[in-house]
Structure 1
Amino acid sequence: MTADLSTSQDVRNVIDSFCERLRRDEMISRYFQYVDWKSNLPQMYSYWSSLLLGRKEESRSEGRPFPKHMMMLGLTETQFQRWIQLFYKAIDEKYKGEKAAKMKLNIHALTLALQSRLHVMNADD
C-alpha cells in the first residue's frame, strides 16, 4: 500500500527519483547534463517541502523556478510531456494521497507557466 507524502524525506525521495529519471532518459537527458545537482537538489527539496509540508529546509529555495529551467529552451511538446511524465512517475511509484495530488497539481501549474515562457513548440510546428 502506498502512503501520502508526509515528511521531508518523502519529498526528497520523490525529487531524487525524478532527477535520476531525468539523467537517464534518452529523450530529454541532454537538457539536464549541465545542471549543478549539488546546489540545485537542496533548493528543490526546500521548495517542495515548504509547499507541501509547510517546512523550510536548510537551503532556502529562491522561489523562482523559471531561470533554472532556461536550459530547456527548444523543448518540443512531446519532450515536455515526457518531463512531466517522469515527475508523475516518481510520485506514483511510492505515494498516493492529498499531498501527492497537491504536488501533481502544482507541477501541472508550474509546467503550464514554463511552457508559455519557454515557447514550447508543438512537434508539428
Structure 2
Amino acid sequence: MFFLFGKKKDKAEKKSKETKVEKTLNIEEILQTIESEKAKLESLSGKERIECLNKLGSLYFQAEKISEAIEMYETSLEENKELGKAYTDLLKLYNIKRKEASDSKDEDQVKMYMDKINSLMQLSKDVIRGKA
C-alpha cells in the first residue's frame, strides 16, 4: 500500500519537472513574441497601437514580468481611457505589487499602489459616467 503511494509521488515529481521545462520553453517563446510586437509598436497608431500595447502587457504578464506589463497597460490607458483587459489586468498587477510591498513591509510602496488602485477605480467611475 505504501509502495503505491510512493509511485504516485514519483509521478507527481516527474510531472512537476516536465511542467517547469514546458513553462521555461513557453516563456522563451513569449519573450520572442514580445520582441516582435515591440518592433511593430513604433509604427502603429490609434486602435492598432492600443491593441499592440494591450497584447504586450498580456505577454509580459504571462512571462511574469510585472513591471513591464504595468508599463504597457498604463501607456494603453493613458492613450485610450477605456475599461477592458488593460484595466482589469492592471488592477491585478497593482494588487500583486501591493502585496509584495506589504510582505516586505515597504509602506511607501504599499501607499503608492493603493493610490494607483484608487486612480483606476476613479477612472472606471468616470468612464461609466461618460467623463473620461
Q: What TM-score does the superposition give when structure 2 sets the normalisation length?
A: 0.30
Structure with bigger helix share is 2
Higher relative contact order (CA 8 A, sep 6+): 1
Larger Rg: 2
